[in-house]
Structure 1
Amino acid sequence: MLGLIQRVSQAAVQIDGEVSGKIETGILLLLGVQKGDNEEKARKLLHKVTHYRIFPDTDGKMNLNLQQAGGELLVVSQFTLAADTRKGLRPGFSNAAHPELGESLYDYFVAEARGQLGHVATGRFGADMKVSLINDGPVTFMLES
Structure 2
Amino acid sequence: MFHRFLLCSGLAAAVNLAVGYVLYAVLGYSQGWQYGLSVAFAFLSGMGVSFFLNRRFTFEPSGRLTRSEAIDFFAVSVGGLAITTSLAQYLRTHMPALDPHLPPEALAHVGAVGLTAIYSFLAHKYVSFRHARRPHDADKGFPQ
TM over 0.5: no
- State TM-score, norm by structure 2: 0.30
- State TM-score, norm by structure 1: 0.30
Structure number with larger C-alpha Rg? 2
Bigger relative contact order, structure 1 or 2 (CA pairs below 8 A, ≥6 apart): 1
Pick the structure with more helix per residue.
2
